[in-house]
């Protein structure tokens, strides 16, 4: 028996661990969190990315977090944690980006 096998003996393997099914809110939060990460990356690299990308991601994140909230989501993995705060943040980003894209150009 190798040293690695000895240190993890007694612990269940990845195949033995059962995962509980995700709730509807958790499914939407998982997808929304992906767009939250994409939007954050777009904001950080605003100079290098097209501003339309940030607008699109902000709109999708607002829609997905909105759906997750209606399904009962109370806490997110996003750094802001509270879904309504996240929706508000991305709504402001989207509005500011839309104004910059369509009104100021």
The verdict on residue 7 lying in a domain is: no
Provide the residue range defining the domain that includes 73: 24-103
pLDDT band at 49 (very low <50, low <70, confident <90, very high): low
Total domain count for the chain? 1
The verdict on residue 31 lying in a domain is: yes
pTM beyond 0.75: the answer is no
The verdict on residue 17 lying in a domain is: no
pLDDT band at 85 (very low <50, low <70, confident <90, very high): very high
Q: How far apart are CA 31 and CA 23, in angstroms?
A: 13
């Amino acid at each position: 028996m190798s040293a690695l096998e000895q240190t993890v003996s007694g612990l269940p393997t990845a195949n033995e661990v059962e995962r509980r099914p995700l709730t509807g809110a958790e499914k939407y939060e998982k997808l929304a969190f992906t767009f939250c990460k994409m939007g954050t990356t777009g904001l950080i690299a605003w100079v290098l990315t097209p501003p339309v990308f940030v607008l699109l991601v902000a709109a999708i994140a607002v829609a997905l977090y909105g759906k997750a909230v209606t399904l009962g989501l109370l806490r997110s993995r996003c750094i802001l944690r509270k879904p309504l705060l996240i929706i508000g943040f991305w709504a402001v980003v989207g509005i500011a980006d839309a104004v910059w894209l369509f009104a100021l150009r």
